[in-house]
Structure 1
Amino acid sequence: MQFIDLKTQYAEIKSSMDRRIQAVLDHGQYIMGPEVQELETALASYTGVKHCMTVSSGTEALLISLMALGVKAGDEVITPSFTFVATAEVVALLGATPVLVDVEPDTGNINADLIKAVITPKTRAIMPVSLYGQTADMDAIQAVAEQHGLPVVEDAAQSFGATYQGRKSCNLSTLGCTSFFPSKPLGCYGDGGAIFTNDDALAQVCREIRVHGQSKRYHHTRIGVGGRMDTLQCAIVLAKLEGFAWEIEQRIRIGVRYLELLATSPAFSSGQATPMTVRPDRSSVWAQCTVQVPARDKVIAKLTAAGIPTAVHYPCPIHQQPAYRPYGVGADLSISEKLASQVLSLPMHPYLDEKQQARIVERLNDAILSV
């Protein structure tokens, strides 16, 4: 059983994928080739955003976005503690301070009600994370941001393709950033990412930053980075984009079936374990199917023995990471700590069949009840 089945996906789209890759090999424009602009146009159209800029990774998308906003040493950026380290990492790399906020216990997304209390004169931006495939409460976050004149950067590494009140993730704030890491719902075969914005000026700044701050060849108007997404990876995402709508439908169908199976499972119906919640005003692309379980290590051991792969997203909140402990001093991040100790992700991909899902939930239930 595969946790994420990229081999089957490739077999299904092999002809399109091979054709796309061969086209790049034939024209030989491996950096900023025609597939780069083609992908940017397709992604902008998909999200309804005016501008899309592909970049070398999801992390680089966040970094370039903060640089474009002018975040610098001494500034503060508000972000959740329960997330992958890259979200806080890019803030610290710029010499700014990640101000860590706790999350909702049922979604793992930043608790919008806690943001206003940590805004200071040094606050330069708010950076929510759209975790497990669904967005945070972006309207509530935007309302606080507008009240204080702050930009919002959505870290949509796990939610590309999801909707919030009918609008696409990456088209909900000042800037949206996503990742095309291979395990994402829309992934390439290496690193890649994209930045989205409806702001013409910010788009231009992002484009310049990603090519070492150039406004034209060898004319550097600002400090930048080498942040381009290579042509081959753009071609790979273009091949996958053709079937992306179908894959999202499958992910949602499989996610709903997981919830139905879990609801009738004794370990979950009795409240000993709980699935993460998908809110009714938004959709999830089910980047992960994540549950909260007691005695997680023992449960994982039993599932592993039964041949069922699992993962933990994420086992340690940012404020408990050795390099980031100073940023969490004095903050109540107890929900982040609890989730980090209990979350467990189950196999999730568009090719998971009903028999496999039933077996996964059955073994999960047995494991929870036996520890």
Structure 2
Amino acid sequence: MDSLPELYAEWRRGQEGMMTGLAPRRLKTGQALLENVDTAGSRIRDGIDLLKRDTVAREAFGLMNTAMAMANRRREAVIQKKLPGDVDPPTWRPFQLAFVLLNLVGVTDRNSGEREIVDLLFFRPAAARAYLGLAAYAIVLRRLRGSGVLGAGISVIMRYTLRLLTPLVSSARSNSCGPMMTMAGRRLANGRSRLDSGWAAQPHRTIQPRNSSDKDAATTWLKRYQSRPKTKSPVPLKACPWCGEPFKPESFHFTPNRTAPQNLVLKCENAECDFTRDRHLPVLVVDEPIYRRLPAFLIATVDKFASLPWIGKSGAFFGHVDRYDPDKGFFGAYEPGEGRPFGNGHRLDPPDLVN
């Protein structure tokens, strides 16, 4: 990893050599671009230095790499029809690793001026993996720094138009974030994960058990889907994000039960999957549980975010939470008297990464 800045500097010198003979205006543009390259190179070095001196950041970086490797092997195993252990170990492409490193200081240090910098990354498959790696780092870092429930809360927010959201949430890379963090945490903590966090596919439909005839209620959607499987699924996911097994009507379950539903959970029908039987996928797809459980990774449409100022519970998305109930979730000023205070005036941290 130490060689990356040197190789980047070597590439930069080659680009500078190509500027000989340029017209004045083009030369000025080229010099400005080279200054940006120098800044990026310096940020990459700073990211490496951070990992050398900060043990918590280094642990978070290692856990992120473990989680990404597990998810990549699982995905490739589905594509190649092999066992995950038979798939070649994945590696970062140089630009992917560079993107993660140059953003480490800004994500890690809340007082850093780099938090005001927005780095653009073309959302192609390889680029998406780099962004997902940075998101995983932010989630892990929050869990390692926070004690107990103080490490909870929404860490990453992704906003999309409705047209882009559907293919996004159907992609294995995006959906694997919650499962991969959960499995990495369990493996590294002898079955008891410090990283179990949940992931939200989309603030979707509201569960209204007292009015099951409501066409927008999850109870209505699921009843219709299970009686007529060819109708639209109640969630925008077509297959298990961990093993690739297609979802079926029986993959969806209400908890604690159908007569008094509080949440809609997904269980894979593949008996060999890590998320089957009594272990459901760490994914939330209904409004109320999302406001209450605050998944680490939230994806929603821009119109949904535009409505947040009129939804009192949405303040919890941005860290305005100071009470917790193990059975119900988190509470803020909008719901006084619920849950038990964190103590010492603590609140949850606001999101770390917003796209």
TM over 0.5: no
Which of the pair has the greater relative contact order for Cα pairs under 8 Å at 6+ separation? 1
The structure in which a higher percent of residues are helix is 2
Q: TM-score, normalised by structure 1?
A: 0.25
Q: TM-score, normalised by structure 2?
A: 0.26
